[in-house]
Amino acid sequence: MGEPEEGHARRPWIDPELAAHSGLFERKIHRIGERVYCAVGYNLANVIAVDGPEGLVIVDTGLEMRQGEEVLADLREITGKPVAAIVYTHHHVDHVQGTRAFVSDEEVDSGAVPIVAHESLLEQYVQENGAIGPIMGARAISMYNVALDGADMKGMNLGIGPFLRAGENGFVPPTEVFGDEYAVTLGGVRMEMHWVPSEAHSELCILLPDERTLLSAEVIQDHCFPNLYTLRGALFRDPRRWCRSIDAMREFGADVEHMVLQHGTPVSGNEEIHTVLRNYRDAIQFTHDQTMRWANKGYAKDEIARMVRLPPHLESFAPWLRPYYGTVEHSVPQIYSGTIGWFDGDPTALAPTPREQYAERLVRMMGGRDAVLEESRAALTAGDPQFAAELCSYLIRIDREDRDARLVKAAAFRELGYASLNIGWRGFYLTGARVLDGTLDLDPLYRVMGMVAANPEALRRMPPHALVELMPLRLKAEESHEVREAIGLHFTDLDEHGTVEIRGGVAVAEQRRSQDVVARAAGPREALGLLVAGTLEVGAALAVEGFEVEGSRERLAAFLERFELIYERFPNYFLR
């Protein structure tokens, strides 16, 4: 199925403005003032080191162990001081999963090297990588261009970093947390930490008053328009709260001379810093306010997305507000939904005709499959790839294996992708094109993501409740309406207990020991984590070494069979 639609074999291309943006991510350790070093270009996010008299304070550890190891090796060319502390600015994986490259288990367990974060970080990390991890991970493959290669990636960047390279998960939960503010000395350096919810609820920034330096985390996401909504999916990012956080930074950072970001290069000069902060928050407020202005007039999300445009002085504030990563267009629907919900007031949306049935009836009304396919090709030839793709979607909903429709839609996606200035849009279009034309099978990559997510070393550091509470989301409820039984879990490394009970199609996870169970599994977190994670077939999960079963092993297996596997097959959102 791999040959392109005849006449539409579009040559790979990247917008020159987007290509030029790649120059921002040259691999380099930047020195800022006397104490601060920022490692840019090693992966999607930066790693920052504050060189204190008593040791290094590492601010964010990167996406994976290899990044952490590479940054630390290059830092060792500058200083041999030991790591005195680690700070997580927020819970996103590209900031917290290189930790074990910088610190040993013994240093963490003894308290010799504290890991500081906002009090919400662990909950947010577990929610994002557990509860919504499978779909978010599947979308991240497209958004971050992970499966693309060759000419499609030549000269490319990811808007907020050079590339995304996955690898071994070295996350270690924080050992020291705070609420709104935290004044502390780490490594002999005075630090004032502030909770600044913005693109993550767990976000914190750090003022180094003696260095007149602000470590701004991802409150200023990079030299691009922020992702007020991320296409990979996330909890609602409240623009009003984001603006308040920037305003707080403008106030307590009034005298700073340097601002060091977790993506992209540092900014120096007090006037330049405050120009960036002011324009950035104004763009966010404008997008929110104008979305709600038109919502209050009764317009729908898609209509408002076409209407709201930044004022010229903000739209041209390059590169800071250019749409390399976030866009106004894909932020508007989320602001609408996050503020007043998904319903736009038209009751036809309350119980719509099932999409497959709708497609069948519509295609029949338009003259049948061949007529629609011909019209889609005409639209593509006429320079309207969006309409061509929309028409083909109806055909593919009727028959997912309609080769001609898939190839036309793939060609349309390539036209849209190569023309896009936004890396997420480009990634979804071009990944979708390869899935549609049959040149890309995402199942193997998706399974690898599952193996990384259920890494025993990472599971060993998770609190038991985080492991147990993920099971209910996998219950095959339609097969469990008459089931009323429970299993017990004993996490022997902490001597903590959990119970998972199925009550007529609902699975309830609790942190308690129950006597009324069909079986109880006992073992350390890394073993029980694999048992309940849902990434292994039940037989393989029960064969994991390190745990024992009290009661019926067969009934435990039958109980586990009532839960779906995750990361088994890519949830193909391109064939809908």
The 8-class DSSP code of residue 22 comes to G
Q: Specify if 536 maps to a domain.
A: yes
Q: Specify if 133 maps to a domain.
A: yes
As a whole number of angstroms, the distance between CA 43 and CA 163 comes to: 6
Q: Which CB contacts under 8 angstroms, 24+ apart, belong to 497-501?
A: 498/464, 498/465, 498/467, 498/468, 499/468, 500/468, 500/471, 500/472, 500/532
pLDDT of residue 501: 97
Q: Specify if 14 maps to a domain.
A: no
CATH code assigned at 269: 3.60.15.30
Task: Indicate yes or no: pTM above 0.85.
Answer: yes
Name the token pair of 559: 């109980």
Domain that holds residue 214: 33-292
pLDDT of residue 5: 53
As a whole number of angstroms, the distance between CA 244 and CA 419 comes to: 35
pLDDT of residue 2: 47
Q: Specify if 508 maps to a domain.
A: yes
Domain boundary, last residue among 292, 313, 348: 292
pLDDT of residue 7: 47
The number of distinct structural domains making up the chain is 2
Q: Is the dihedral of CA 138, 140, 143, 149 positive or negative?
A: negative
pLDDT of residue 11: 82
The 8-class DSSP code of residue 118 comes to E
Q: Specify if 216 maps to a domain.
A: yes
Cis-peptide, bond into residue 209, ω within 30° of zero: no
Name the token pair of 90: 């927020």
Q: Specify if 138 maps to a domain.
A: yes
Q: Specify if 155 maps to a domain.
A: yes
CATH code assigned at 513: 3.30.1050.10
As a whole number of angstroms, the distance between CA 264 and CA 51 comes to: 20
Q: Specify if 427 maps to a domain.
A: no
Query: Could you please report the per-residue DSSP string of 346-384?
Result: -GGGTSPPPHHHHHHHHHHHTT-HHHHHHHHHHHHHTT-
Q: Pairing between strand 83-87 and 55-59? A: parallel
Q: What residue spans of 115-238 are helical by DSSP H? A: 121-126, 133-143
User: Is residue 261 helix, strand or coil?
Assistant: strand
As a whole number of angstroms, the distance between CA 310 and CA 301 comes to: 17
User: Is residue 504 helix, strand or coil?
Assistant: coil
As a whole number of angstroms, the distance between CA 61 and CA 90 comes to: 11
Domain boundary, last residue among 241, 262, 292: 292
pLDDT of residue 6: 52
- What is the helix (H) or strand (E) element at residue 37, kind and residue range? strand 36-40
Name the token pair of 575: 């064939």
pLDDT of residue 568: 92
Query: In order along the chain (576 residues), what is the average pLDDT of each group of 10 residues?
Result: 51 93 97 97 98 98 98 97 98 97 96 98 92 94 96 96 94 97 98 98 98 98 96 96 98 98 98 98 98 98 98 97 98 98 96 97 98 98 97 98 98 97 98 98 94 83 88 96 96 95 96 94 93 91 91 95 95 93
Domain boundary, last residue among 277, 292, 307: 292
